[in-house]
């Protein structure tokens, strides 16, 4: 059951837009209904919140989208970047979104360093949490999902 006083979908949208506008590409995200068909995510970047609010913020996308994000952040062609630079970039996106979400959840809470899982068969699961907010955006034809998870009463 979602707790009170958590960021709204509008908050999550605004935060994601701000990150994209500042560091990737201005006014380039198209917000999608969450019910849109989404590909199997191959990259999941996650930061964890612990304290008065316990949960996670996840950014899920395809590997192609992650390379595109890295190319934008590093201002370099994707083919010139290493895998660690790609995971660094998507991890930093999750960090910025998560950090701004942290400002809107009950505090005090601490923010973890980013974790990035990638690979065709990868799934990043956070035990004992449920998704309480989620948005889907399209960036140059690449779906990206941003989720806020919260510890369940039983977690």
Partner 1 sequence: MLAIVIDDSKAMRLILTRIMQGLSFDVLEAADGREAIERMEQGPLPDVALVDWNMPVMDGLEFVHAVRRHEGWRSVALMMVTTEGEKAQLVRALAAGANEYVVKPFTPDAIAEKLMLLGVGD
Closer residue to partner 1 in complex, CB, 20/151: 20
Closer residue to partner 1 in complex, CB, 39/99: 99
Instruction: Determine the 3-state secondary structure of 86 from DSSP.
Output: helix
Rounded CA-CA distance 83/27 in Å is 27
Q: Pattern 83-102, binding to partner 1, x per CB under 8 A? A: --x--xx-xx--xx-xxx-x
Q: Would you say the C-alpha torsion 103, 106, 110, 113 has a positive or negative sign?
A: negative
Q: Which of 1, 4, 37, 75 binds partner 1 (CB under 8 A)?
A: 75
C-alpha closest to that of 147 among 61, 70, 40: 61
Q: Which of 59, 61, 73, 144 binds partner 1 (CB under 8 A)?
A: 73
- 111 in contact with partner 1 (CB under 8 A): yes
What lies within 8 Å, CB to CB, of 12 at 6+ separation is 97, 101, 133, 134, 135, 146, 148
Closer residue to partner 1 in complex, CB, 10/21: 21
First to last CA, the chain: 11
Residue ranges in contact with partner 1 by CB under 8 A = 18-19, 21-23, 70, 73-75, 85, 88-89, 91-92, 95-96, 98-100, 102-103, 107-108, 111-113
């Amino acid at each position: 059951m979602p707790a009170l006083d958590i960021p709204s979908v509008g908050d999550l949208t605004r935060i994601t837009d701000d990150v994209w506008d500042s560091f990737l590409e201005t006014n380039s995200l198209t917000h999608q209904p969450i019910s849109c068909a989404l590909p199997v995510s191959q990259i999941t970047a996650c930061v964890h919140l612990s304290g008065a609010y316990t949960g996670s913020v996840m950014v899920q996308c395809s590997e192609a989208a992650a390379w595109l994000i890295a190319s934008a952040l590093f201002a370099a062609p994707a083919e010139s970047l290493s895998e660690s630079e790609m995971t660094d970039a998507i991890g930093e996106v999750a960090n910025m979104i998560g950090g701004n979400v942290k400002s809107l959840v009950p505090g005090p809470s601490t923010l973890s360093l980013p974790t990035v899982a990638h690979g065709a068969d990868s799934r990043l699961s956070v035990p004992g949490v449920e998704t309480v907010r989620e948005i889907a955006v399209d960036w140059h034809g690449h779906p990206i999902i941003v989720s806020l998870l919260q510890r369940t009463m039983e977690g």
